[in-house]
Homo-oligomer: A and B are copies of this chain.
């Protein structure tokens, strides 16, 4: 699990709570149910205008994605592909059929099965790239949902503050009420900013990083699968795929694979 996502939100809220308490006005001054309803309700109402209902209902799943570490370990994937390349080299492409059952990643499994079926390399490439484009589109969709929420929440915060200010200005006769009224008016802006900057915008950023990582491993898989199908030397495949890795990860991989690498020829 990616403890940063949930941990950051919890720590951020705790800090804000501490800041409020140390400010001396009491936490009660910062909680105003109508203000909460206007900001959260307004933001979600507008997001139903902005986003198809089906996508909004899947927002929990998208958020979950930002909380989970991706299972994709590029190093592991490369090892797996080198193994498959060795099998294919020694026993032919058809021998990969047995290896398929040991593969957990659906995308890699599908690719291997296409190869086993003797699908034309051009078609394999086109099918896998269409799927990657689709995955990218789906991720972008999820990210845009959080971007929309991150833009709408401060806007409804400001709308709430305007509602409060108008009410306050209509009723300036009681000077004692001005302070509290204005303080309540500012709360919606506070809620909107906090929601946007602690949750919606950062989650969208996290989703972008995770999506990029996932697509990188998919790209490694496509490159590897096409090389296997072309019957390339496992050592050259390894060299090619390792260019996708950072030098640090690459080094750990080299030590591990030394034996496997030598036995390839």
Contacts and interface: CB of A to CB of B under 8 A. Distances in A.
Nearest to A7: B48
A73 interface: no
A7 to B, nearest CB: 6
Interface string A198-242: 110111011001101000100000000000000000001001100
Interface stretch (A37-45, A85-93, A97-105): A37-45
A47 B202 contact: yes
A158 interface: yes
Interface of A: 2-5, 7-9, 11-12, 15-16, 18-20, 22-26, 29-30, 34, 37-38, 41-42, 45-53, 55-56, 66, 106, 114, 119, 123, 126-128, 130-131, 134, 137-138, 141, 144, 148, 151-152, 155-156, 158-160, 162-167, 169-172, 176, 178-180, 182-183, 186-187, 189-190, 193-194, 196-199, 201-203, 205-206, 209-210, 212, 216, 236, 239-240, 243-247
Given A22-B34, A29-B170, A162-B190, 7 more contacts: A8-B50, A46-B197, A106-B247, A119-B236, A130-B244, A148-B202, A165-B186
